[in-house]
Amino acid sequence: MKELAGRLTALDPDAGVAVRVIAYFDRLAESRAGLEALVRGAAVLAGCPARLVDEARHVRIRVEPDGTRRDPDSAPDAGWPREPLILEDPLGAALWLERDGGAPSVVDAVILERAAGVLRQVLDRTRGRAPAEGAALIETLFDPTADVRDRLLAAKPLLGHAVADPKALFRAVAVFGGRPRVLPADSDLPALPTTRLGVGPAVPVLELPRSWSAARTALRFTAAGTPHDPGARVVHADDLGDLALLEKLVVPGAEPPADVRALEATIADAPWMLMTLHAVATTASLRSAATEINVHHSTLQARIVHAEKLLGWSIRAPQGLLRLHLALSMRHLAATAGITDT
Amino acid sequence: MAMVPPPFDPELAAALAVLAENLPSTMTLELARRLRAQGLGAVPANEELGRDGFFAVEDRAVPGPPGDPDISLLICRPTDVPGPRPIIYGIHGGGMILGDNRTGVAGALDWAEEIEAIVVSVEYRLAPENPHPAPIEDVYAGYLWTVEHAEELGGDPERIIIAGASAGGGLTAALALLVRDRKAQQPLGQILLCPMLDDRNDTPSAQQMAGLGVWDRASNELGWGSLLGEARGGADVSEYAAPARAEDLSGLPPAFIDVGSAETFRDEAVAYATRIWQAGGVAELHVWPGGFHGFEGMAPQAALSRSAAAARLPWLRRLLGE
């Protein structure tokens, strides 16, 4: 009789299994079970680890299929089946099943849907409603031409009492493919962002239009952080300095500058080229670049010689290295799409 | 009188919702016969019991009670640990009518892996085909054999712990009484997990949980009726069948007792612990809130199950002084 509750997905994904999944989460909801019990339910029924992350409410729970709670110390994999708890908000909470490979099964989808449904209620009940950042309010707050009174009125529901404090500082955050956000300056950004973020400087509430503009610029310097698009997922405008000036020079969709074109042609030459150039540009020495991409020092040397031939300039001299760095940054600027206007 | 039952723990209630289809609250003789034919869940093979070579696993036939057939002992010995090691003498559950010496042995093997102990699990004859005293006498015969052959197994005859769940918990308590009264070698401790102790089947918990959870009052009546026949609940029931009937609970080895608050056996388990203390004995009692009968084995991932399982090892370690 043991372990009947486990690994339902091993069975045929017929209606019977779905009914039992639904019964499981209905019972948890009826008896007002907590977050961990719900995440554990998803893990046990799916037979793989499940995790709930809601950075805005400081919730991070991960449970393994044997019921052990082991909270996450790495970012979720983009391929895992996932159910957002707040629709259309990639910064917001989501539930994941840590199942690799392919589309989620029917049963996985039922588990995610039912568990997420109850989790939404429990989060609202136990942690308070997540701030409803209405798109219209944000738009007003970030609009430098809007009336000051209107902007202060819009700030109240978004930022609460902090707005009344003249010394309080806030940041605009630009989310790749998502709605703009505003956060108190001292609040934590997600340590393990699931999406690309541009973070504006900390400013008083009425200067948020400036922070927003800088955040959007910063977002254009972000990358997916994958082998096909290496680079930082989160970029702070404060860290960009005058690099931000490049933003004005590179218009997405227009023909890229010559060095970027040379870089693109070089990247197309070999699958290892992009990661190699990224490692050379972002590490302190060739030795650490070799370690970063896990190749022998002599292999890296050979690759660099090859790359220099294609690029047409040396990337070992400081000036050539700067040129490579700028070309890589401008390549992001040339590629960015998905940045929304308010 | 209508009685309000205590609620199940949320996670356990959800597990029950999934299990219910395969596990009605009320056991019938017909269902028991079908379960016997199918086996109680998957029967672990010797290889699985061996835990990647940690244990050497053997089945051994040893003499039963005088004049009765041999009994089968499942013996799992740590292969790489110098003796003499403690022995856990395990008695399986199944309401006196179900199960064999592999039923639930995984629990005892979990402890044995931690404390490097030997596990001996006894096969006893089942009711109703074999009413009292067949089961307890088989259990006693297997225990005597284990004491006498402990050293041959690499075990320490001074450190035998007897253990069982449900009907096995009742038989464990009965074995402790029988060993005391027949003046055999005492075990070091007794582990009574959600034990089936009282054939009268009339406690408030038995009444509260009628038709609910796992092994409800009607199932319990079936179990005791199978073991005792017409004598069940009457004046002449032996304490070696139903340990709750014992007048004297002094002179017993230290007991570890656990039970769920939402099961038939709650009150008899609590009463047994209380009476051991009143008799000057040693007992550790855990009542897990909202636990149904056998919750820890059936929903091992639930938080409450994990706490229940985790409570046992510290007791074993203190008892063994290791």
**SS3 assignment for A285-296:** CHHHHHHHCCCC
Among B9, B18, B302, the residue with its CB nearest the CB of A4 is B18
CA-based radius of gyration for chain B: 18
Would you state the pLDDT for residue A3?
A: 38
Put simply, the answer to whether A27 touches B21 (Cβ < 8 Å) is: no
Would you state the pLDDT for residue B89?
A: 98
Distances (CA, A) of A174 to A57, A142, A177, A211, B214: 19, 11, 9, 10, 54
Q: Is B206 helix (H, G, I), strand (E, B) or coil?
A: helix
Would you state the pLDDT for residue B10?
A: 94
Please count the residues of chain A.
342
Q: Is B55 helix (H, G, I), strand (E, B) or coil?
A: strand
CB atoms within 10 A of CB A22: 16
Band of residue B18 on the pLDDT scale cut at 50, 70, 90: confident
Task: Read off the pLDDT of residues B114-166 as tens digits, 9 standing for 90 and up.
Answer: 999 999 999 999 999 999 999 999 999 999 999 999 999 999 999 999 999 99
Q: CA–CA separation, A97 vs A64, rounded Å?
A: 10
Cα atoms found within 13 Å of the Cα of residue A317, Cβ hemisphere only = 6
Cβ atoms of residues A203 and A183 within 8 Å: no
Put simply, the answer to whether B15 touches A24 (Cβ < 8 Å) is: yes
Percent of chain A topping pLDDT 90 = 40
Would you state the pLDDT for residue A10?
A: 45
Put simply, the answer to whether B13 touches A3 (Cβ < 8 Å) is: no
Answer with the residue of higher pLDDT: B167 or A140: B167
Q: Is B279 helix (H, G, I), strand (E, B) or coil?
A: coil
Among B10, B17, B294, the residue with its CB nearest the CB of A32 is B10
Would you state the pLDDT for residue A342?
A: 40
Say whether residue A24 is in contact with chain B using an 8 A CB cutoff: yes
For B:281-300, CB contacts with A below 8 A are 294, 297-300
Cβ atoms of residues A298 and A286 within 8 Å: no
Would you state the pLDDT for residue A340?
A: 44
Q: CA–CA separation, A9 vs A95, rounded Å?
A: 18
Say whether residue B22 is in contact with chain A using an 8 A CB cutoff: yes
Say whether residue B43 is in contact with chain A using an 8 A CB cutoff: no
- Write out the DSSP string of A66-85: TS-B----SPPPTTS-EEES
DSSP state of A226: B
Cα nearest neighbour of A36 on chain B: B303
B-chain residues near A3 (CB < 8 A):
41, 300
CB atoms within 10 A of CB B170: 34
- Tell me how close the Cα of A53 comes to any Cα of chain B, in angstroms: 20
Of A53, A46, A43, the closest CA to residue A17 belongs to A46
Among A5, A30, A34, the residue with its CB nearest the CB of B15 is A5
Would you state the pLDDT for residue A11?
A: 47
Task: Read off the pLDDT of residues A180-206 as tens digits, 9 standing for 90 and up.
Answer: 888 888 766 765 566 788 999 999 999
Say whether residue A37 is in contact with chain B using an 8 A CB cutoff: yes
Put simply, the answer to whether A32 touches B11 (Cβ < 8 Å) is: no
Residue listed under structure tokens 């002094």: B250
Q: CA–CA separation, A319 vs A105, rounded Å?
A: 52
B-chain residues near A44 (CB < 8 A):
301
Band of residue A84 on the pLDDT scale cut at 50, 70, 90: confident
Number of A to B CB contacts under 8 A, please give it. Answer: 87
Put simply, the answer to whether B302 touches A40 (Cβ < 8 Å) is: yes
Q: Is B41 helix (H, G, I), strand (E, B) or coil?
A: coil
Q: Is residue A302 over pLDDT 90? A: yes
A-chain residues near B19 (CB < 8 A):
1, 4-5
- Tell me how close the Cα of A115 comes to any Cα of chain B, in angstroms: 12
A-chain residues near B294 (CB < 8 A):
1
Q: What is the mean pLDDT of residues B9-28?
A: 85
Of B10, B296, B8, B307, the closest CA to residue A38 belongs to B10
Distances (CA, A) of B279 to A130, B28, B87, B251, B267: 58, 37, 27, 8, 18
The model's pTM is 0.69
Q: Is residue A8 over pLDDT 50? A: no
Percent of chain B topping pLDDT 90 = 85
Q: Is residue A56 over pLDDT 90? A: no
- Tell me how close the Cα of A190 comes to any Cα of chain B, in angstroms: 28
Cα nearest neighbour of A21 on chain B: B18
Q: Is residue B111 over pLDDT 50? A: yes
Q: Would you state the structure tokens that stand for residue B129, as one six-digit string?
A: 């085909």
Q: What is the mean pLDDT of residues A140-158?
A: 84
Say whether residue B15 is in contact with chain A using an 8 A CB cutoff: yes
Cβ atoms of residues A26 and B17 within 8 Å: yes
Rounded to 5 degrees, what are φ and ψ at B295?
Answer: -55, -35
Answer with the residue of higher pLDDT: A227 or B293: B293
Residues β-bridged to residue A236:
A199
Put simply, the answer to whether B300 touches A67 (Cβ < 8 Å) is: yes
Put simply, the answer to whether A24 touches B14 (Cβ < 8 Å) is: yes
Q: Is residue B269 over pLDDT 90? A: yes
Put simply, the answer to whether B40 touches A1 (Cβ < 8 Å) is: yes
Strands of the sheet containing A94-97, edge to edge, are: A59-63, A50-54, A94-97, A82-84
B-chain residues near A33 (CB < 8 A):
10-11, 14
Q: Mean pLDDT across chain B, nearest whole number?
A: 94
**What are the residue ranges of helices labelled H in chain A?**
15-30, 35-46, 106-127, 135-141, 148-159, 208-220, 237-240, 246-249, 258-267, 273-282, 286-292, 297-311, 318-335
Band of residue A5 on the pLDDT scale cut at 50, 70, 90: very low
Say whether residue B21 is in contact with chain A using an 8 A CB cutoff: yes
Peptide bond preceding A252 in cis form (omega within 30 of 0): no
Q: What is the mean pLDDT of residues B301-313?
A: 95
Task: Read off the pLDDT of residues B217-252 as tens digits, 9 standing for 90 and up.
Answer: 999 999 999 999 999 999 999 999 999 999 999 999
| ipTM of this complex prediction, to 2 decimal places | 0.79
Q: CA–CA separation, B271 vs B287, rounded Å?
A: 12
Say whether residue B320 is in contact with chain A using an 8 A CB cutoff: no
Say whether residue A19 is in contact with chain B using an 8 A CB cutoff: no
A-chain residues near B8 (CB < 8 A):
31
Q: Is residue B204 over pLDDT 90? A: yes
Q: CA–CA separation, B171 vs B196, rounded Å?
A: 8
Band of residue A87 on the pLDDT scale cut at 50, 70, 90: low
Band of residue A9 on the pLDDT scale cut at 50, 70, 90: very low
Cα nearest neighbour of A17 on chain B: B18
Q: Give the best residue of B9, B16, B18 to mutate against chain A (max A CB count within 10 A).
A: B18
Q: Give the best residue of A44, A110, A121, A122 to mutate against chain B (max B CB count within 10 A).
A: A44
Put simply, the answer to whether A8 touches B18 (Cβ < 8 Å) is: yes
In our burial notation (b when 16+ CB lie closer than 10 A, e otherwise), range B246-281 reads beebeebbbbbbbbbbbbbbbbbbbebbebbeeeeb
Band of residue A124 on the pLDDT scale cut at 50, 70, 90: confident
Would you state the pLDDT for residue A91?
A: 59
Peptide bond preceding B10 in cis form (omega within 30 of 0): no
Tell me which range, A144-158, A274-288, B8-22, is most confidently predicted by mean pLDDT. Answer: A274-288
Would you state the pLDDT for residue A31?
A: 87
Peptide bond preceding B289 in cis form (omega within 30 of 0): no
